[in-house]
Amino acid sequence: MTQECEPADRTINYVEFLTGDIDAMKAFYGSAFGWTFTDYGPSYCEFSDGHMKGGFAGGESSPSGGALVVLYARDLEACQDAVERAGGSIVKSIFDFPGGRRFHFTDPEGYELAAWTAA
């Protein structure tokens, strides 16, 4: 049995795509790239490409077509403080989700990213 390691601190760890149709996304990426999926309720599905994981978040499509890049942080509060000190803007304060906690922020160019930590 292999033991999962903690992700490296403050590195890209996950990518999330907003979508209006999770089933269509699963069909496309499963067929085109062989990705596998784990459903977490009707509005969220995690994917794995065999190397990295990400997710399809339902409800609406991204107006820009961009993905949400998610970084891992061992100390989420310290990471949020660092983002703010560096000039980033918090757009979603720290919140709980199944498996952990995270917050969303924008960088100086307006790109939205998120940082998370395990529960």
Spatial distance between the Cα atoms of 57 and 82, rounded to a whole number of angstroms: 27
Say what the pLDDT of residue 65 is: 59
Average pLDDT across each block of 10 residues of the chain; the chain has 119 residues. List them in order. Answer: 74 89 91 92 93 88 76 94 92 94 89 92
The model's pTM: 0.74
Say what the pLDDT of residue 73 is: 93
- Alpha helices by DSSP H, listed for 18-68, are 22-33
Say what the pLDDT of residue 110 is: 84
CB 86 within 8 A of CB 80: no
Domain spanning 68-119: CATH superfamily: 2,3-Dihydroxybiphenyl 1,2-Dioxygenase, domain 1 (3.10.180.10)
Spatial distance between the Cα atoms of 94 and 91, rounded to a whole number of angstroms: 10
State which CATH number among 3.20.20.70, 3.30.470.10, 3.10.100.10, 3.10.180.10 fits the domain covering 15-67: 3.10.180.10
Domain residues of the chain, as ranges?
A: 15-67, 68-119
